[in-house]
Chain A
Amino acid sequence: MNSRGKSFLVSLLVVFILPALVIYVIFSFYGKRPDQRAEVHVEFSADHVASTDHSEFEILQKEFNAPQEVTEACISCHTGRDDEIMASAHWKWEREVEIPGREGKVSIGKKNLINNFCTGAAGNNGSCMRCHIGFGWKDKSFDFTDSRNVDCLVCHDQTETYLKKKGEAGMPATPENASLQFPVPNYNYVAQNVGLPKKHNCGICHFYGGGGNNVKHGDLEEALLSCSYEVDVHMSSDSLDMNCIDCHKTEKHNITGKLYSVSSENKNRATCASCHTDRPHMDRILDEHCFKVACQTCHIPKYAKVNSTKMWWDWSKAGQLDEHDQSYAETDADGNHNYLSIKGSFVWDDNVIPEYYWFNGTADHYLNSDTISEVPVKINTLFGSYEDPTSKIWPVKVHRGKQIYDTENNTLINLKLFAKNEGEGAFWKDFDYDTAAYLGMKYNERPYSGSYDFIASEAYWPINHMVSPKEATLTCTECHSRDGRLSGLDDFYLPGRDYASIVEYGGIGFILLSLLGVISHGIMRIASRRKIRSY
């Protein structure tokens, strides 16, 4: 080959082939996410095989006249289990906790906290305490030390026939008050068929909090009993069909996991990482997000995927009666109540995009000794900030509304809502706010001035369930863009969203100036060359 040809080939190599090779390598090896499956470490609790057949036990053959007799039979073999239960929050409905910013310990839980749904359980025991795992917590006289009051069956029933009657503070129907909907349970049949709790056991209370399916959580509802993979990858009947206790690991009746609508401390939590590890993506860039972003944020892009959840509850509209002085209901296009005389007006929504907040696993609550310091009143406060290294961005359902408060004492009011009969002062029977407030506050041993109004409030419910398939996971630009999902979370610099205006305008200005400069310089060169030629 002659030297010309050789130098052409060398030039081709150094000027084109080698640079192109570098770019080719970058695009083909680094342009895509590596396709590797992460390991998952799982032991399903519910795969446990029962070691005994309860139907063969003589003690479960006898005739039971009351549910407490079943409990006696249970703990005659399962000794000490009653003590475990009676130490749990499921029994006590309160926990001793330290809350950042408050002195000493406080004992809080469903037992004494105020919310912006039905304002609070205490004083409405007949209705609310149906979901207590005991029998008959109808007022303050309930004996929390009597293990005969523990209801073993509500969690361990495998027959799906064990039901507690409405309005009876956790008692199943008796021969006196049985109905077609709530018959007296067949205690022998139920007790002989007990087992580890399944979804329906937990769901019978946790799906229906707030007086109906999916009212409160938004991500926990009856559709999870049999849902598609798109709704929940873990609980879907098409795939793993996992039970609650597969993630909410339980030792000696201490169940991991809790919700910060009633909890405060960063303890005893159920985490994704316990199966998926804290570096689950097999990819550095994605794994690094775990420093600051909760798994739930990307993997639960929306909640209430099947049935709607309550987003807004306005108590100030409650109490309107129809022309016959009767309470009434109005229903929206999806079949959800948007007005009830007994409760006020509501807004429901499905496929809801969560709000996002920093959260470090600790939370404050409006305690019934507090006065109102800000509007909207925060029923609970999730602590966290970008600066706090233990905080992550979490998806949150925020339940907003207007609820009754004492205008003189500047306190939120516990309402007496439930009673069996008219004339007992309960709002749901008599529609008199003043009496209901007086009785509710009296039961809770709090002062009531006699003057009330309605005030905006917000409750923050972190979202944890309804994990989507990986194909539906949030994409980068859902957050990394000018008006993405995180546009409200502005205490840090987020690539793709944030910029310094002065740099942005300065930079673009400088680019335009340089373009203007080279274009005019070029035009002048062309013009002057013509001139020189024409000489």
Chain B
Amino acid sequence: MKTKKIELYSKFERFWHWTQGVLVILLGITGFEIHGSFRLFGYETSVRLHSAAAWAFLILIALAIFWMFISKQYKNFIPTSKNIKAQINYYISGIFKGAAHPTKKTKLDKLNPLQRLVYLGLIILVFPVQLISGFLYMYYHYPNKPVELTGLETVAIIHVIGAFLLVVFLIVHLYLITTGTTPLTNLKAMITGFEVVEEDEELIKNQV
């Protein structure tokens, strides 16, 4: 089998990924402190860090969306039904038998169908819900115009649901990155940008 080394993740993409990663972790820790789950930085410090991290996160997401459109990388997140069964089968059985990954990576097709679904869900659902509920939480206090928002309850509960989903995402994500060719393959790729991929033109053509 012929292989070649390609730049899978661009400089911006890696910057986006790791900055988003640390911001989500910081938002999670400070957010759950504000929620009363534990004490760490101190309540007031957590509130201030959470607000600042939220702004940083908003700016980063805006940059990422801009980048996705000019680089056409948004195509990576368009869901596909192709291979989805194969991918599920791989995780529930193939992986234990040493089977090959059903999805081959290319620059414009670096995500498997399950990743596409989950990441799209994050980008169009969880992040917007967290950002909108979060900024309402921060700034939309006690008014009744243009819409009445009696208290923080609804906003806060939606925000907490989003937070729990992100914790679960983080756990599963951290585990699944170990399922590459070797346990560290995916991590290395996200750091260096490069990954050794199969040079099987046929397979790649069929995939898209």
Report which A residues bind B (CB closer than 8 A).
Answer: 7, 10-11, 14-16, 18-20, 22-23, 25-27, 29-33, 285, 288, 291-292, 386-387, 389, 475-477, 480-482, 492-493, 495-500, 503-504, 506-508, 510-511, 514-515, 517-518, 521-522, 524-525, 528-529, 532
Contacts and interface: CB of A to CB of B under 8 A. Distances in A.
Given A14-B14, A15-B15, A510 B152 contact: no
A496 B97 contact: no
B121 interface: no
A15 B191 contact: yes
15 contacts: A14-B12, A14-B15, A15-B190, A15-B191, A22-B22, A31-B45, A32-B45, A285-B48, A291-B142, A475-B43, A492-B153, A496-B43, A503-B157, A515-B171, A517-B172
B19 A481 contact: no
Contact of A31 (B35, B48, B95, B151): B48
B47 A285 contact: yes
B98 A532 contact: yes
A506 B156 contact: no
B185 interface: no
Contacts of B34: 480, 495-496
Interface in B1-58: 11-12, 14-15, 18-19, 21-23, 26, 34-36, 39, 41-45, 47-49, 51-53, 56
A53 B45 CA distance: 57
A495 B152 CA distance: 8
Interface stretch (B65-73, B100-108, B161-169, B197-205): B161-169
Contacts of A528: 95-98
A481 B191 contact: no
Interface in B110-156: 141-142, 150-153, 156
A475 B42 CA distance: 10
A26 B45 contact: no
Given A15-B18, A285-B47, A493 B192 contact: no
Interface of B is mostly: helix
Contacts of A496: 34-36, 43
A496 B46 CA distance: 11
A525 B141 CA distance: 50
A529 B99 CA distance: 11
A33 B151 contact: no
Interface residues of B, number: 57
B36 A480 contact: yes
Residue of A15, A32, A481, A496 with highest tally of chain B CB at under 10 A = A15
Contact of B175 (A26, A475, A492, A522): A522
B196 to A, nearest CB: 15
Contact of A529 (B18, B98, B164): B98
Given A26-B26, A499-B160, A525-B96, A291 B52 contact: no
Nearest to B39: A477
A495 B52 CA distance: 18
B193 interface: yes
A445 B51 CA distance: 63
A33 B48 contact: yes
Contacts of A10: 11
Contacts of A508: 164
Contacts of A32: 45, 48
Contact of A389 (B26, B36, B142, B193): B142
B97 A518 contact: no
Given A10-B11, A477-B39, A498-B153, A503 B45 contact: no
B168 A511 contact: yes
B18 A16 contact: yes
A58 B52 CA distance: 72
Contact of B153 (A18, A493, A510, A518): A493
Given A288-B141, A511-B171, A517-B172, A493 B160 contact: no
B34 to A, nearest CB: 6
Nearest to A14: B15
Contacts of B18: 14-16, 18-19
Given A482-B36, A492-B151, A31 B49 contact: yes
Nearest to A18: B15
Contact of B96 (A22, A495, A500, A524): A524
A257 B36 CA distance: 38
Contacts of B21: 19
Given A15-B14, A481-B36, A30 B51 contact: yes
A518 B174 CA distance: 9
